[in-house]
Amino acid sequence: GAGVSQSPSNKVTEKGKDVELRCDPISGHTALYWYRQSLGQGLEFLIYFQGNSAPDKSGLPSDRFSAERTGGSVSTLTIQRTQQEDSAVYLCASSLEGQKNQPQHFGDGTRLSIL
């Protein structure tokens, strides 16, 4: 389709396992964003990519979180040694060039549940 695609849509895993979440942005969009949506914290911005580069990783919640983007397209968010507080919906968005006046288009998210 033409929208932002995220996979898997749901992921249930045991505490301590690693998980990898995938985002495929809208074709031609150079800017890609990751957010986390949880009941207690609302919508939190995690990281921004312009092309393959993420200039600021300070929004990632801990050093167990990492993200990469290859080929200026698909991005993966990896969480190592998952904890129960990582349970949330992880949203990906893309925009044309990352300008502040350009709307971000969101995927349907990955609902992550840590047992």
Which residues are near another protein by CB under 8 A? 31, 33, 35, 42-43, 45-46, 48, 50, 55-56, 59, 91, 93, 95, 97-109
Residues in the chain: 115
Nearer to another protein, 14 or 56 (CB): 56
d(CA 1, CA 64): 32
Nearer to another protein, 52 or 104 (CB): 104
d(CA 90, CA 81): 17
Cis link prior to 103 (omega < 30° from 0)?
no
* In the complex, least distance from residue 72 CB atom to another protein, rounded to whole angstroms: 16
At position 66, the amino acid (one-letter code) is S
* In the complex, least distance from residue 14 CB atom to another protein, rounded to whole angstroms: 26
* In the complex, least distance from residue 17 CB atom to another protein, rounded to whole angstroms: 26
Nearer to another protein, 9 or 83 (CB): 9
Per-residue buried b or exposed e for 24-46, using 16+ beta carbons within 10 Å of the residue's own CB: bbbeebbbbbbbbeeeeeeeeeb
Nearer to another protein, 73 or 110 (CB): 110
